[in-house]
Copies of this chain bind each other. A is one copy, B any other.
Amino acid sequence: MVSRSASVTIIDVAREAGVSKSAAARVLARNGSASAATRERVLAAAAKLGYRPNQLAKAMKSGSTRTIGVIVPDVASSFFSAVLRGLTDSARAAGFEVLVSNTDNDPDIEASSIDLLAEKRVDGIVIAPVFQDEPSAILDIADEGLPVVLLDRCMPRLEHLPLVCVDHADASRQATAALLKLGHRRIALITETTRTVPELQQLARESDLSLLRPSAQRAIGYLRALADAGLNAEDALLVRSGYSVESAAGAMIGFLDGEHDVTAAHATDAVLTSGAYRAFSAKGMRLPDDLSFVGFDDQDWTTLVRPAVSVVDQPRQRLGAAAATALIAAIRGNRPEELNVRLNASLLMRESAVAAHPGVKAGAEEFRARPLVQDRW
């Protein structure tokens, strides 16, 4: 291997080997036939010149770039960074590289990202779409025949696209059920949804849950757990928060400052979990004595603090891997309907949630071993 110029083409290799361009091409692309002698000389020439196949040229011919695009709100978030990790690894294993972009939940950025990726001729796109009434950029690109897989969330107009997500309702249902089993009856829900309990109940009855925002789906899971236990939900138990640690902490402090009789709480998102936890600290509350708590997403700190925080954990990396797999299947021509994946979150009971009364039998052990079900990966 010698020093090499900017770009060594197949022609350079052919010349060096003293054969024709196509002869060289055949051995380099290891298809078509070539004599042992030719093969050897071409390979030697390629090695000597440091030949690197130009995938751009290959892509122009084949129509496939072996590159996929990923569009998420923020790759720096703990959720999407883990998802991206699973996604890139899985894509890479299948021979695809990944182009990423962030939207910050801005529909315009989303639209321009889609256009850019389309112009770069990615073979498909995985997208965690921005909630909007007219997701036209996504619809357009999908109409043009580019494979698209929805990640983590869906919305009206996009129902026909394959969706890879976690069962949000089930996640919060699990968390709430665990608290109920521990004997808690008054359970606060820290939630981002702005819907009232009756609205949520109606949605749960009449619409396709997967078309709702994750926050609404999770709230519905909470309501279901209550209903399963024969309990009525109350708006007074819903602690409304914006999507930030500060907002959640403020909302929770406000709630705790007011009159209430809750003995437990569940937060429906990683950020809200942090905010709620901060509120508990600020109020000087001791978990689980003053309150039992189950958070969302297993973050670094949940096992760092004392008591360790119980959470319902989403399989983030596997979610990303599943999205990559689904997209690649779509690229290979599988039908969208076959590509839907719904993974289950798993309950991790630790020290922040205990029995409401000494008499309650169910301990943390009971939940800890709970097997995953309905998990296709």
Residues of A within 8 A of B (CB): 3-4, 6, 50, 52-57, 59-60, 65, 67, 74-78, 81-82, 84-85, 88-89, 92, 97-102, 115-121, 140, 143-145, 274, 277-278, 281, 299-301, 303-306, 317
Is the pair B65, A56 in contact by a Cβ cutoff of 8 Å?
yes
What are 6 A-B contacts with C-beta separation under 8 Å?
Answer: A56-B65, A67-B99, A75-B75, A81-B81, A99-B99, A301-B301
A145's nearest neighbour on chain B, judged by CB, is B6
Is the pair B82, A3 in contact by a Cβ cutoff of 8 Å?
no
Q: How far is the CB of A326 from chain B (nearest CB, A)?
A: 19
Copies in the complex: 2
Residues of B within 8 A of A76 (CB): 81-82, 84-85, 317
Q: How far is the CB of A57 from chain B (nearest CB, A)?
A: 6
Given known contacts A89-B102, A101-B92, A143-B3, is B74 in contact with A115 (CB within 8 Å)? Answer: no
Residues of B within 8 A of A102 (CB): 85, 88-89
Q: How far is the CB of A22 from chain B (nearest CB, A)?
A: 19
Q: Which of B92, B144, B305 contacts A6 (CB 8 A)?
A: B144
Given contacts A67-B120, A98-B99, 11 further A-B contacts (CB under 8 A): A6-B144, A50-B140, A56-B121, A74-B85, A75-B84, A78-B300, A88-B100, A97-B101, A97-B117, A98-B100, A300-B300
Is the pair B116, A97 in contact by a Cβ cutoff of 8 Å?
yes
Residues of B within 8 A of A56 (CB): 56, 59-60, 65, 120-121
Given known contacts A52-B118, A98-B100, is B317 in contact with A304 (CB within 8 Å)? Answer: no
Given known contacts A119-B54, A305-B305, is B88 in contact with A81 (CB within 8 Å)? Answer: no
Is the pair B52, A119 in contact by a Cβ cutoff of 8 Å?
yes
Q: Which of B50, B88, B100, B300 contacts A274 (CB 8 A)?
A: B300
A117's nearest neighbour on chain B, judged by CB, is B97
Which residue, A6, A92, A116, A120, has most C-beta atoms of chain B within 10 A? A120
